[in-house]
Amino acid sequence: MKEFDISDTIVILLTIYYLEIGAYMKKSSKNKKILFSCCAVVLVVAILLAVFLPGAVSKKVNNYSYVAKTQKAVDASSGFDVTVVGSGNRKILVNSKNGAVAFVSGDGKTIFNSCSKDAAEQTLAHIISLRLRDKNGNSYSMNSTDNSVALGTFGVVSQSNTRANIKFDFYPDAASSEKGIKGAEIFASVVISFNYEYNNFKASVNTKDIVLPDGFYVEKLSIMPGLFSVSEAAGQEFYTLPDCCGAVVDLSTVSEKPLVADLGVYGSDVSFYEYDRGAVLPFFAFIKKDCIVNTIIGNGDGLSEISFKRFENGGGYLYNTFNVTSCGMVDGKFVAGQPYEGELSQIYVITCEKGADYNNIAEQVRDNLASRGYLPREISDKFVDFPFFINVLGSADGKTTETTFEDAAEITALLKSRGVRNVALRFSGAGKNGLSSDSDYTNSFNRKLGGKEGFNEMAEKIVEQGNSSWLDLNVYTNNARKNGNDVMVYEMPSKFAGFSVEQFSLNRTNKVNNIVSESYNMIADLASADVCLNDASMLLYTDLIGKNNRQDVLLNIREKAGALNAKGGLMLSYPAAYLLNNADAVFSVPDTSGLADYQGVTAVPIMQMVLHGSLIYGSSYMNVTNLSAEDALLRCVEYGAVPSFLFTHNAQSNLNYSVYASYTAQLYGRAKKLLPVMDMKMTSHELVLSGVYKITYDYNKVVYVNYNPSVVEVNGVMISAKDFVVI
């Protein structure tokens, strides 16, 4: 029997109104007829609100699960009837009867296998899992492990030596499900494709081809979530995560509490506050002895969430979930975004090499992103000399002046006089409303800072000095106060911004496009056409008003960023991978992992190894750090970054540039020794002694970094205390 919602109730009331009151209306006076007509109008409006604004009415949302608390382990030793073969006799094996899947190395040994007891014990599906939603927001979880055994069927649609299509039909019913569903008819039919192409295996699902009941849609979908699951770790087994700079997690570590992380690729979806942390590269990897499976998230990377867990007693799991439709509770009401319709894919790069480690993973990721057009072909010609990045804060709120345009030119001139040959000045908060402004207000430069004329004079002086100026540009966010209370309000994460930022709301996609067009025209009249795309570097969201999912938003801003790059230089404030191809530089790349505080987790510069040789990137702010001045420089050198600072001209601020004038010149004199490797690929990064790192670049160019308070000798090379050498 159908459950009534508020719209059903209003329809019934309106029907009763006309049936029971209609006859009386014929006999009533003119005034009473007007009164009854007004009541009818009110009821009609209520119906329209219930139908077209369902989020305006709170509804109870139920979650139903068709996933058993303990799944059945599947014997992986035999029974595989589908084989996809790659080069070197590498294979993907599939059992179409129970959904088992395994990767096999060239020597015929099974190296990864999602049908083990480990996946079963952790309630992970073997090949696929789904979460569906109905029109009322109720969710239904189901996966290929439980449903294949009790509630559904598998079938081979087609297969060849290098390709196979497997169909999974889920047909749960009240009798076989754990909780029942009050007679609801829930089903799903999904085809997953396994291909060998371009020397790698690929697994994909096209959401357009998923068959569902009327009124249902897919919220989340995971492909082979149980593949990388082990109950106990031994030897070299560990996971590698693209969290900030990168992290290696030892699976043999024993801890009091499990380590759990949900990483939204390209950051959290701020529309729904999803995920705990952000990942800036679309990949994850697992090493088992000498074998690596590097999983590159292909189509649908903007929808991707990487889930990781390390158990208390060792072992763990790692998999990816596509958020096909962003859903969440907003102010106590269920809200759903626009479903994604298209292909979701994961590419599996399988290599077996003795001593395989995160260096091999980084190399594979770099090559893959380069072949897919994510990375520039070469270093931008805007940086012919070793640069020095400074972010100058003009105004945070549009009222308080921290640095005028004239002051900014003075800062670069001072640095130039102290021997800093190449300053890239990024100016933040230039608009009328400071950092909380969008491009509409950037057209009206803050008069307290010097206005448009002052900005042009600053830019011209900086160019005359042989330096460059980059104007911060916000396209996603605007001041929440000017929009009233009819929009959702967010707070910019201070850990990304580096300073306090006011509350903001999000622009819909068509307004973002208008802002980019306005900005394109605006910079044509400026002395500098170089911009730093700020908020789009740090944020990615579901445009609820514009009815665009995260992937639509991603594709749109990637295209529009190319227009800005065609007009002048383009810098990113943060390394959003989907924007890198159009960028000349990244102002700041994090130099530690968000998980680095956990035992058994090691921060490694995977992001830096991917970027180096393709574009210039800066360090975290060297004057806003917990590291000592010496260690901040050494970390900068170790990670192949250029020094970055946050400055103001405010004499009362601890960020006042004059405090650092002598130090920055001395620091630059040391850091510019990296000029010979500035445009080279970083091929390896390794700890050779306690506190001593060896970083290798193309053509066997080597940098040794010594964090120790005493001199050390490595391979016949003497390295002074708290120092580095370039060989």
pTM value? 0.87
Dihedral of alpha carbons 168, 328, 70, 224, sign: positive
Q: Which residues, including other chains, have CB under 8 Å from residue 695's CB and lie 6 or more apart?
A: 638, 640, 682, 684, 685, 702, 703, 704, 705
- Indicate if the pLDDT at residue 332 is higher than 90: no
Question: How many residues appear in the chain?
Answer: 727
- The answer to whether residues 320 and 303 touch, using CB atoms and an 8 Å cutoff, is no
CA distance 112 to 287: 10
Six token digits for residue 441: 């207000």
The predicted-structure confidence for 573-613, as pLDDT tens digits, reads as follows 999 999 999 999 999 999 999 898 899 999 999 999 999 99
The predicted-structure confidence for 182-213, as pLDDT tens digits, reads as follows 445 677 899 999 999 989 999 999 999 999 88
Q: How, if at all, do strands 228-230 and 238-241 pair?
A: unpaired
Q: 45-54, 441-450, 685-694 — which one is most confidently predicted on average?
A: 685-694
What is the CA angle 381-387-390, rounded to 5?
120
- The answer to whether residues 480 and 507 touch, using CB atoms and an 8 Å cutoff, is no
The residue type of 597 is D
Six token digits for residue 653: 């601020």
Six token digits for residue 569: 């230089």
Q: What is the DSSP string of 234-254?
A: -TT-EEEE-BTT-EEEETT--
Burial class (CB in 10 A: 0-12, 13-18, 19+), 677: buried
CA distance 624 to 251: 33
CATH topology of domain 392-474+509-540+548-680: TIM Barrel (3.20.20)
CA distance 635 to 629: 10
Q: 176-185, 433-442, 691-700 — which one is most confidently predicted on average?
A: 691-700
Dihedral of alpha carbons 145, 149, 155, 156, sign: positive
- State the pLDDT confidence band at 313, using cuts at 50, 70 and 90: confident
- The answer to whether residues 604 and 592 touch, using CB atoms and an 8 Å cutoff, is no
- State the pLDDT confidence band at 667, using cuts at 50, 70 and 90: very high
Give, for 669, the enclosing helix (H) or strand (E).
helix 661-671
Mean pLDDT along residues 1-8? 33
- The answer to whether residues 409 and 462 touch, using CB atoms and an 8 Å cutoff, is yes
CA distance 150 to 148: 6
- State the pLDDT confidence band at 8, using cuts at 50, 70 and 90: very low
- The answer to whether residues 607 and 592 touch, using CB atoms and an 8 Å cutoff, is no
- Indicate if the pLDDT at residue 109 is higher than 60: yes
Q: Which residues, including other chains, have CB under 8 Å from residue 31's CB and lie 6 or more apart?
A: none
Higher-pLDDT residue of 672, 147: 672
CA distance 457 to 341: 49
- Indicate if the pLDDT at residue 35 is higher than 60: no
Q: How, if at all, do strands 152-159 and 128-133 pair?
A: unpaired
**Phi and psi (nearest 5°) for 603?**
-75, 130
Six token digits for residue 211: 């068959």
123: left (phi over 0), alpha (psi -120 to 50) or beta: left
- The answer to whether residues 220 and 322 touch, using CB atoms and an 8 Å cutoff, is yes
Six token digits for residue 188: 């799903």
Q: How, if at all, do strands 388-393 and 712-714 pair?
A: unpaired
Higher-pLDDT residue of 334, 479: 334
Tell me what the pLDDT averaged over the chain comes to: 84
Q: 406-420: buried (b, 16+ CB within 10 Å) or exposed (e) per residue?
A: ebbbbbbbbbbeeeb
Six token digits for residue 199: 């020397």
- The answer to whether residues 164 and 158 touch, using CB atoms and an 8 Å cutoff, is yes
Percent above pLDDT 70 for the chain: 83
If DSSP codes are grouped into helix, strand and coil, which group holds residue 718? strand
The residue type of 483 is N
- For residue 126, the 8-state DSSP code is S
Give, for 665, the enclosing helix (H) or strand (E).
helix 661-671
Secondary-structure percent of the chain, ordered helix, strand, coil, rounded to 5: 30, 30, 40
Mean pLDDT along residues 675-693? 97
Least confident of 309-313, 548-552, 678-682, 692-696: 309-313
CA distance 387 to 642: 7
Task: Return the half-sphere exposure (C-beta side, CA atoms, 13 A cut-off) of residue 419.
Answer: 11
